[in-house]
């Protein structure tokens, strides 16, 4: 089953620096698709996310994994400006996992 955002998540503020979901909620998400951009320098991760999000159905979730230290902030800012919601991120060994909900 692919992930969807729930009503509580949809109502939370979507400030670019604030997580709208708790870490334990993020760990339990079912994602629609995964973009693995580990090892790619900026702006490649953001470009991959822009291409992939177009294929994600409304209400579904894209997970992106990045190792470039600048990529998480770039992706969060872009998501906010583009009308998507960054649900949050999880740190893993050597990379970040970001979760983007397609809202439009």
Q: How far apart are CA 27 and CA 23, in angstroms?
A: 6
Domain enclosing residue 23, as ranges: 7-101
Residue 56 lies in a domain: yes
Residue 81 lies in a domain: yes
8-state DSSP, 58: T
Q: How far apart are CA 4 and CA 41, in angstroms?
A: 29
Query: What pTM value is reported for the model?
Result: 0.80
At residue 103, φ and ψ (nearest 5 deg) are -110, -10
Q: Which residue has the higher pLDDT, 2 or 93?
A: 93
Lowest mean pLDDT among 14-23, 69-78, 89-98: 14-23
Residue 2 lies in a domain: no
Which pLDDT value is given to residue 17? Answer: 45
Q: Which of 89-98 are b and which e, b meaning 16 or more Cβ less than 10 Å from the residue's Cβ?
A: bbeeeebbbb
Residue 91 lies in a domain: yes
Angle between helices 44-53 and 71-82 in degrees, nearest 10: 30
What six digits make up the tokens of 14? Answer: 């979507």
Catalytic residue ranges: 42
Q: Into how many domains does the chain fold? A: 1
Alpha helices, H only, 1-104:
7-11, 23-27, 44-53, 71-82
Residue 1 lies in a domain: no
Q: For residue range 25-72, what is the model confidence (pLDDT) as tens digits?
A: 999 999 999 999 999 999 999 999 999 999 999 999 999 999 999 999
Residue 18 has pLDDT above 60, yes or no: no
The enclosing domain of 93 has a CATH number of 3.30.110.40
């Amino acid at each position: 089953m692919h992930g969807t955002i729930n009503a509580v998540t949809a109502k939370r503020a979507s400030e670019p620096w604030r997580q709208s979901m708790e870490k334990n909620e993020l760990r339990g998400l079912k994602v629609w698709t995964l973009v693995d951009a580990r090892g790619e320098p900026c702006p490649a991760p953001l470009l991959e996310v822009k291409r992939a999000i177009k294929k994600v159905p409304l209400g579904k979730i894209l997970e992106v994994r990045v190792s470039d230290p600048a990529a998480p902030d770039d992706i969060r800012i872009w998501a906010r400006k583009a009308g998507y919601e960054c649900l949050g991120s999880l740190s893993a060994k050597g990379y970040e996992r970001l979760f983007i909900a397609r809202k439009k």
